[in-house]
Amino acid sequence: MDKDLQKEAAIREKNRAARVAFPDGAKAPRLGQGTWHLGERPSRRDSEIEALRLGVRLGMTLIDTAEMYGEGRAESLVGEAIRGIGRNGLFLVSKVYPHNAGRKNIFESCENSLRRLGTDFLDLYLLHWRGNIPLAETVACMEELVSRGLIRRWGVSNFDTADMEELWRIPGGSRCAANQVLYHLGSRGVEYDLLPWMRKHRVPLMAYCPIAQGGSLRRGLFENPAVRRVAAAHGATPAQVLLGFVMRGGDVIAIPKAGTPRHTLENAGAGLLALTDADLAALSAAYPAPAHKTALDMR
């Protein structure tokens, strides 16, 4: 076996072994795949499909998408990518628009997502963000989707601590299985109170944009001297360091996006990275943990 194949085998084994537990005992990969902005350009479709398939082969079997992403085009892309792959080996996540998260629309929205994905059920279905529909109604609908067998469990996205506390006061709200929020080295606000709250209640945090893909938040992260020194010390890339930082506690799921097989391989390689206490201290000196409450970042 040549060195490249040996490395891929090691990545696959590590990523398959690194799991995060949900409240019901189910487990999912600590390193998954995001799909925001995938499926929007036909010229990139083949590359994006191969990137997703490679990720699955490398143990990144959790795939996150949403009806919002390309108005369903990302779900359709995922459906094509996973065709022929054993369903039991996948952990599929999608999200419902807030305006569809009530009794009038949620069942049709879920069924449309399932149709586009080419599957009979979702492993996790999330409320994408809070809207005008009462949380109690959304929770009741989510529980009905579980009873119908269309989803295995449900959760939320972009919920801050006060939102989670409110959710917990609603009948059935404590059955929330996950909260997906923006989290990366340059945006650590969730560490002040949200992440501790979730750990106390044993609810996994899913980190979207864990390497600050695009936008002003990414500015300077890859070029930061501390990030680059840590990367060089491990023979890693800055992106792998950022992913390793988010996953360092073992109970956060990272869902980086990749539109090419090369980027998928880079992301998957983060599973081999073990940051030391000295590494984490250097990164925290460059990007300190929050000393006070900040608004939940959604950029």
User: How much is the pLDDT for 248?
Assistant: 96
Residues pairing with 206 in the sheet: 180, 253
C-alpha–C-alpha distance, residues 214 and 242, integer Å: 14
CATH number at residue 255: 3.20.20.100
Is 178:126 a contact under the CB 8 Å cutoff?
A: yes
Please indicate, yes or no, whether the overall pTM of this predicted structure exceeds 0.85.
yes
Within a domain: 232: no
Residue 2 banded pLDDT, cuts 50, 70, 90: confident
Q: Is the pLDDT of residue 266 over 90?
A: yes
User: How much is the pLDDT for 297?
Assistant: 86
C-alpha–C-alpha distance, residues 227 and 72, integer Å: 36
C-alpha–C-alpha distance, residues 73 and 66, integer Å: 9
User: How much is the pLDDT for 218?
Assistant: 67
User: How much is the pLDDT for 229?
Assistant: 98
| 3-state secondary structure labels for all residues of the chain | CCHHHHHHHHHHHHHHHCEEECCCCCEEECECEECCCCCCCHHHHHHHHHHHHHHHHCCCCEEECCCCHHHHHHHHHHHHHHCCCCHHHCEEEEEECHHHCCCCCHHHHHHHHHHHHCCCCECEEEECCCCCCCHHHHHHHHHHHHHHCCECCEEEECCCHHHHHHHHCCCCHHHCCCEEEECECCECHHHCCHHHHHHHCCCCEEEECCCCCCCHHHCCCCCCHHHHHHHHHHCCCHHHHHHHHHCCCCCEEECCECCCHHHHHHHHHHHHCCCCHHHHHHHHHHCCCCCCCCCCCCC
Within a domain: 266: yes
* Number of domains making up the chain: 1
Instruction: Return the ∠ at Cα 202 (arms to 173 and 290), rounded to 5°.
Output: 100
Structural domain span for residue 77: 3-219+249-276
Q: Is 208 a catalytic residue?
A: no
Within a domain: 175: yes
Is 12:57 a contact under the CB 8 Å cutoff?
A: yes
Is 105:112 a contact under the CB 8 Å cutoff?
A: no
Q: Of 27, 23, 1, whose CA–CA distance to 15 is shortest?
A: 27
User: How much is the pLDDT for 7?
Assistant: 85
Within a domain: 244: no
Within a domain: 282: no
242's tokens: 């950022």
Mean pLDDT of the chain: 95
CA distances in angstroms from 296 to 127, 129, 181, 188, listed in the order given: 16, 12, 8, 10
User: How much is the pLDDT for 3?
Assistant: 75
47's tokens: 């590359």
Q: Is the pLDDT of residue 274 over 80?
A: yes
pLDDT digits (tens, 9 = 90+) for 151-164: 999 999 999 999 99
Count other C-beta atoms under 10 Å from residue 86's C-beta. 9
Rounded average pLDDT over 55-72: 97
Within a domain: 238: no
Within a domain: 103: yes
pLDDT digits (tens, 9 = 90+) for 115-153: 999 999 999 999 999 999 999 999 999 999 999 999 999
User: What percent of the chain stands above pLDDT 70?
Assistant: 98
User: How much is the pLDDT for 126?
Assistant: 98
Within a domain: 198: yes
Please identify which of the residues 69, 125, 183, 208 carries the catalytic annotation: 69
- Output b/e per residue, 142-171; b: 16+ Cβ within 10 A: bbebbeeebbbbbbbbbbbbebbeebeebe
User: How much is the pLDDT for 1?
Assistant: 54
